[in-house]
């Protein structure tokens, strides 16, 4: 009798890998964990009662979200998603943007993961054996796998050389329109906004994206935002037009981001009492934000432009 070949199987969380990659592609290559999980469950046609049926108590999150997180970890090991990346933001690598996760590819990934697990167990066993032979002071070199890195004391930054400020604005102005929109998306996420998505396209009426500010567990406010590269000044009519675009989307909140400056009449227009609120964020604000959060800037004795960070917006 000919014995049937056993069908290759993969762990349950592998079924979320392809939808996870497609969700990240859909939003431009990066998103927060919650944004991705919501997109994945929607893409898979799961109802809310199915998503929130089981919870992982230690994580205080739906079991499905936890499984999507495990899928992300494996994809990071495969070089499909950046690792470790910014905490809370999942980003596709160039390999991930060009990937196509077929069933055959998932099986190959599973075989790679099993090999990594075997090697990890072997290394751990060797470390355990070695630790008994080391003096106490040398044992401290073995760090926990989840350790996020050495927390160094804050560095004093001297502003005698502020070339990075003009260079940063020049770098932003040299980006494509899409690149600057994605930069603003990441900046808004860093500021604490959720659900940040780029909507900008031809005929967008001045609306480049949408985001939400969570006030509490029961309420969040919707914001529409515009990202404008500008070597000159933003005038009052520009603010008026943007306010009209926000009003046309049935919203009461807008954020106008520019690398340039707002004229005095433009500032007055944005800050006047009106049903439609417009927050303005100019080039100086961008520079100060990037300095504070080290977004695209490497903190050394002075700030220096991180070329690798900005290159991804030109691809």
Average pLDDT over residues 100-125: 85
Q: Is 158 a member of any domain?
A: no
Q: Is the same domain home to 108 and 198?
A: no
Last residue of a domain, one of 130, 151, 172: 151
Question: Is residue 263 domain-resident?
Answer: yes
Task: Look at residue 276 in the predicted model and tell me its pLDDT.
Answer: 86
DSSP, collapsed to helix, strand or coil, labels residue 254 as strand
**What share of the chain has pLDDT > 70, as a percent?**
82
What integer pLDDT is reported at residue 179 of this predicted model? Answer: 92
Burial state string for 27-50 with b = 16 or more CB within 10 A and e = fewer than 16: bbbbbbbebbbbbbbeeeeeeeee
137 with 187, same domain? no
7/138 same-domain check: yes
Residues 117, 191 within the same domain: no
Q: Is the pLDDT of residue 15 over 80?
A: yes
Q: Among 68-82, 102-116, 130-144, where is mean pLDDT lowest?
A: 130-144
**Residue 151 clears pLDDT 80, i.e. is over it:** no
- Which residue range is the domain that position 123 belongs to? 1-151
Higher pLDDT, 114 or 203: 114
Q: What is the model's pLDDT at position 302?
A: 67
Residue 131's pLDDT band (cuts 50, 70, 90): low
Number of CB atoms found within 10 A of residue 294's CB: 13
pLDDT in tens, 36-73: 888 898 888 888 888 888 888 777 788 888 889 889 98
Whether residue 175 is contained in a domain is answered as: yes
CA distance 197 to 27: 6
Residue 157 lies in a domain: no
pLDDT at 135: 42
Classify residue 113: in a domain, yes or no: yes
Indicate if 204 and 255 belong to the same structural domain. Answer: yes
Confidence of residue 289 (pLDDT cuts 50, 70, 90): very high
Full strand arrangement of the beta sheet holding 219-228: 194-198, 209-216, 219-228, 253-258, 277-281
The residues pairing with 107 across neighbouring beta strands, listed in sequence order, are none
Number of domains in the chain: 2
**Boundary (domain end) residue, out of 151, 174, 190:** 151
């Amino acid at each position: 009798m000919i014995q049937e070949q056993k069908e290759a199987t993969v762990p349950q969380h592998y079924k979320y890998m392809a939808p996870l990659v497609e969700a990240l592609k859909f939003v431009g290559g990066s998103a927060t964990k919650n944004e991705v999980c919501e997109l994945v469950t929607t893409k898979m046609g799961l109802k809310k009662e199915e998503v929130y049926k089981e919870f992982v108590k230690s994580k205080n999150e739906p079991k499905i979200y936890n499984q999507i997180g495990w899928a992300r970890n494996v994809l990071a090991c495969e070089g499909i998603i950046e690792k470790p990346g910014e905490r809370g933001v999942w980003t596709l690598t160039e390999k991930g943007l060009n990937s196509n996760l077929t069933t055959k590819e998932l099986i190959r990934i599973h075989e790679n993961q099993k090999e990594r697990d075997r090697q990890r167990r072997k290394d751990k066993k060797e470390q355990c054996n070695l630790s008994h032979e080391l003096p106490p002071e040398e044992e401290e070199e073995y760090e926990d796998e989840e350790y996020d890195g050495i927390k160094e004391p804050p560095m004093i930054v001297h502003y005698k050389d502020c070339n990075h400020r003009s260079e940063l604005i020049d770098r932003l102005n040299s980006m494509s329109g899409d690149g600057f929109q994605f930069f603003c998306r990441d900046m808004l996420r860093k500021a604490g906004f959720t659900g940040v998505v780029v909507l900008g396209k031809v005929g967008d009426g001045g609306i480049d994206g949408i985001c939400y500010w969570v006030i509490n567990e029961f309420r969040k406010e919707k914001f529409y935002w515009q990202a404008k590269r500008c070597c000159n000044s933003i005038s009052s009519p520009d603010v008026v037009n943007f306010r009209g675009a926000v009003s046309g989307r049935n919203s009461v909140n807008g954020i106008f981001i520019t690398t340039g400056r707002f004229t005095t009449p433009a500032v007055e227009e944005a800050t006047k009492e009106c049903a439609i609120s417009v927050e303005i964020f100019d080039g100086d604000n961008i520079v100060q934000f990037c300095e504070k959060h080290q977004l695209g800037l490497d903190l050394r004795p002075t700030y220096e432009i991180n070329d690798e960070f900005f290159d991804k917006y030109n691809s």
